[in-house]
């Protein structure tokens, strides 16, 4: 075939041609689809709330607010109320928050304030991130066969020597609040550590430099300058970690003992809203399912409030350091 | 000249006092806290090693061809495995990915490029963040109400959809973040040549952000593979290999949950082996995500 230099440019569709109507159609179709996908997230959340509301409505009508203040869950008599579960959820999450928060902030300081060489820092960071990747059921299994046998002698000793102290008021007879809260602490530690470390990294280097320049020791810089400056970011990490702990299900269902009692003792079995759902739902009858839907709605409301509070604090921190409006 | 001008003397320096004294309270406190933070760092990594050690010791001993292919044993039976659970987990994660990844990426395009500051985008972004902290069991309750009650049966479909609800916000937020990292200059150059927004997205933004998007997607898949709460009453469990998608389906995580509380030695051993397989699967995805994410910086 003979080469024709004019063939290319004589084609009706060259580079400089304006977009054809097919191009316009494709463009607007694509935009519409993307818009629809973004909208679908909003629809999904609304659908979840409405659907749970509809399913729980019969139970809400029947039990009213007594559902939140009563303490019995009796399938045979048809009395359902969740105060022990709410107590267990909040109590176990608070203990987890104390332990996990303490360790999480410690790790964040450890990793961001140049205590370790960059390579070792990466190793530690990976370890903490992998801690978050281990599935909840595996932690549950580990809790049953490693943590509980390990805790038992300690718990028995504490109960015998300091049994008068309400926190150690009962014996640890297998599953209970202490192993559940410890596993929860391990599970929220990565969340707290990651968000706190982020807060430390946002602090401009000259803030630290200025403090060193005045002769402060490393820890004076950390405790008196870095921690207060990063405090709102750390608070966001703690609140979001607390939100995680509130909704955690499987490990707790395996470790907390599923007993509907309110006890201050660390070694008593308890129950949480999420593990109540996990352990009761599969065998529940219609009336009980309605009550469980109500419990799910209560859980949704609690976690929603905590998460929104955490996100609001995080947003505030970002604005503070980046001048975003 | 004024003789009253006070003579300016250099300040008297007490040089020995400026030397660092390791026994001074401040210095002692400093070294004590440094040791303390090291201890915290090491203590925090103990659980991971303990879990992995137990998995290898307890789970490794039982992990053979029979364990990964056979069906779960009943009661006092010896032997058996969890082949159907591996298959079920993979299929449900695949269903969840097929639903959530395309929707998540398109939603991310809308949030990061098409209309980043519109009302829909702002609300959608906020709700995605709220959804990531959403208790996973609620996804199960929701899908139970919507799909299981409607179709009248527990199914792999329902399990997949429940996992998709959890994956969607993670994929969306990760993809949005990756797309935001694409330099404005590259986009401007493409617009300058007369590209439509769609062309810019498909020829510039998506290819450039691909490693970041992949990292996010793989991490979401890893998370979904380890989830169990949403499957409890959507996919339920089954002791046999699945023959269709509309029937109760086994998954590794539910098998571990069911077997962990059983009084039989055989089942508990299988629970450990299944955990080893599950953790291996999840960690494999995690490491894959890291490798893919790192290649972003090499280019």
> For chain B, first and last CA: distance in Å?
72
Give the mean pLDDT of A49-73: 88
Q: Is B191 on the interface with A (CB under 8 A)?
A: no
A13 pLDDT more than 70 = no
- How are beta strands A73-74 and A79-80 bridged, if at all? antiparallel
Which of A15, A19, A37, A253 would best serve as a mutation to test chain B binding (most B beta carbons within 10 A)?
A37
Give the mean pLDDT of A216-221: 88
| Assigned domain for A194 exists | yes
* Contact between chains at A124 and B41 (C-beta distance less than 8 A): yes
| Assigned domain for B237 exists | yes
Model confidence over A105-121: pLDDT tens digits? Answer: 999 999 998 888 888 88
Q: How many CB atoms lie within 10 A of CB B196?
A: 16
| Assigned domain for A176 exists | yes
For chains A and B, CB pairs below 8 A equal 250
- C-alpha torsion B18→B23→B26→B30, nearest 10: 120
Rounded Cα gap, residues B242 and B88, in angstroms:
8
The predicted pLDDT at position B124 comes to 94
| Assigned domain for A40 exists | no
B 60-99 residues with CB < 8 A to A: none
Rounded Cα gap, residues B113 and B118, in angstroms:
11
Q: Is A311 on the interface with B (CB under 8 A)?
A: yes
| Assigned domain for A185 exists | yes
Map residue B72 onto helix, strand or coil: coil
Task: Given the cut 0.95, state whether the ipTM is greater than it.
Answer: no
Mean pLDDT of all residues belonging to chain A: 87
The predicted pLDDT at position B299 comes to 41
Q: Give the distance from residue B122's alpha carbon to the nearest chain A alpha carbon, in angstroms.
A: 10
The predicted pLDDT at position B22 comes to 72
| Assigned domain for A250 exists | yes
| Assigned domain for B188 exists | yes
Structural domain span for residue A125: 92-274
Q: Which residues of chain B have pLDDT under 70?
A: 1-6, 15-20, 295-299
Helices (H) then strands (E): counts for chain B: 14, 0
| Assigned domain for A14 exists | no
The count of domains in chain B is 1
| Assigned domain for A25 exists | no
The predicted pLDDT at position A62 comes to 87
| Assigned domain for B238 exists | yes
pTM metric for this prediction: 0.88
The predicted pLDDT at position A171 comes to 79
Which of A141, A174, A190, A314 would best serve as a mutation to test chain B binding (most B beta carbons within 10 A)?
A141
CA distances to A15, A154, A161, A263, B259 from A164, rounded to whole Å, are 86, 16, 8, 14, 38
CB B92 within 8 A of CB B231: yes
| Assigned domain for B200 exists | yes
CATH number of the domain within which B103 lies? 1.10.3720.10
Long-range contacts of B279-282 (CB under 8 A, 24+ apart): B279/A134, B279/A135, B279/A138, B279/B51, B279/B52, B279/B55, B281/B89, B281/B222, B281/B225, B281/B252, B282/A133, B282/A134, B282/A135, B282/B222, B282/B223, B282/B225, B282/B226
Rounded Cα gap, residues A159 and A155, in angstroms:
6
Model confidence over A250-297: pLDDT tens digits? Answer: 999 999 988 888 888 888 899 999 999 998 888 888 888 889 999 999
| Assigned domain for A162 exists | yes
Confidence tier at A14 by pLDDT (50, 70, 90) = low
The count of domains in chain A is 1
| Residue in B with minimal Cα distance to A103 | B40
Phi and psi at residue A147, to the nearest 5°: -70, -45
CATH number of the domain within which A174 lies? 1.10.3720.10
Compare A151 and A164 and report the one with higher pLDDT.
A151
Confidence tier at A21 by pLDDT (50, 70, 90) = confident
Confidence tier at A2 by pLDDT (50, 70, 90) = low
| Assigned domain for B18 exists | no
């Amino acid at each position: 075939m003979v080469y024709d230099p004019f063939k290319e440019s004589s084609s009706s569709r060259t580079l400089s041609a304006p977009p054809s109507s097919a191009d316009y159609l494709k463009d607007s179709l694509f935009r519409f689809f993307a818009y629809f996908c973004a909208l679908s997230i909003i629809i999904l959340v609304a659908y979840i709330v409405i659907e749970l509301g509809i399913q729980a409505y019969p139970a809400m009508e029947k039990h009213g607010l007594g559902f939140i203040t009563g303490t019995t869950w009796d399938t045979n008599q048809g009395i359902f109320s969740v105060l022990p579960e709410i107590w267990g959820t909040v109590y176990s999450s608070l203990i987890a928050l104390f332990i996990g928060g303490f360790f999480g902030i410690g790790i964040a300081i450890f990793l961001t304030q140049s205590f370790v060489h960059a390579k070792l820092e990466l190793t530690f960071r990976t370890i903490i991130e992998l801690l978050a990747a281990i599935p909840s059921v595996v932690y549950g299994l580990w809790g049953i066969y490693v943590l509980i046998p390990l805790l038992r002698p300690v718990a028995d000793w504490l109960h015998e020597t300091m049994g008068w102290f309400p926190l150690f008021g009962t014996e640890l007879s297998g599953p209970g609040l202490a192993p559940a809260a410890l596993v929860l602490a391990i599970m929220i530690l990565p969340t707290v550590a990651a968000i706190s470390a982020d807060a430390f990294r946002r602090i401009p280097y000259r803030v630290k430099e200025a403090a060193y320049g005045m002769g402060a020791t490393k820890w004076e810089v950390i405790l008196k300058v870095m921690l207060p400056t990063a405090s709102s970011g750390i608070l966001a990490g703690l609140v979001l970690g607390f939100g995680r702990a509130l909704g955690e299900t499987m490990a707790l269902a395996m470790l907390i003992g599923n007993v509907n009692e309110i006890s201050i003792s660390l070694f008593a079995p308890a129950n949480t809203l999420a593990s109540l759902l996990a352990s009761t739902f599969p065998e529940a009858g219609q009336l009980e399912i309605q009550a469980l839907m109500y419990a799910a709605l209560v859980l949704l409301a609690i976690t929603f409030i905590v998460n929104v509070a955490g996100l609001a604090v995080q947003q505030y921190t970002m604005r503070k350091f980046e001048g975003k409006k | 000249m004024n003789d009253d001008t006070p003579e300016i003397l250099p300040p008297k320096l007490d040089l020995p006092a400026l030397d660092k004294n390791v026994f001074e309270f401040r210095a002692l406190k400093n070294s004590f806290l440094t040791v303390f933070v090291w201890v915290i760092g090491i203590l925090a990594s103990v659980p991971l090693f303990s879990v992995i050690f137990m998995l290898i010791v307890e789970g490794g001993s039982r992990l053979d061809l029979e364990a990964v292919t056979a069906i779960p044993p009943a009661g006092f039976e010896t032997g058996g495995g969890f082949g159907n659970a591996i298959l079920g987990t993979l299929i449900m994660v695949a269903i969840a990915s097929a639903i959530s990844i395309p929707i998540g990426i398109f939603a991310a395009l809308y949030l990061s490029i098409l209309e980043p500051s519109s009302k829909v985008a702002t609300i959608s972004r906020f709700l995605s963040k709220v959804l990531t902290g959403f208790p996973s069991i609620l996804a199960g309750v929701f899908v139970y109400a919507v799909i299981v009650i409607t179709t009248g049966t527990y199914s792999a479909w329902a399990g997949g959809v429940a996992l998709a609800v959890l994956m969607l916000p993670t994929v969306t937020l990760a993809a949005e973040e990756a797309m935001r990292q694409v330099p404005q200059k590259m986009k401007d150059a493409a617009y300058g040549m007369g590209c439509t927004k769609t062309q810019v997205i498909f020829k510039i933004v998506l290819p450039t952000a691909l490693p970041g998007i992949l990292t996010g997607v793989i991490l979401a898949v890893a998370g979904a593979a380890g989830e169990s709460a949403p499957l409890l009453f959507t996919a339920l469990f089954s002791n046999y290999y699945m023959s269709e998608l509309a029937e109760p389906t086994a998954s590794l995580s539910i098998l571990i949950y069911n077997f962990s509380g059983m009084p039989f030695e055989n089942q508990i051993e299988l629970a450990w082996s299944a955990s080893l397989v599950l953790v291996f699967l999840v960690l494999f995805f995690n490491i894959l995500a890291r490798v893919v994410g790192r290649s972003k910086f090499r280019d």
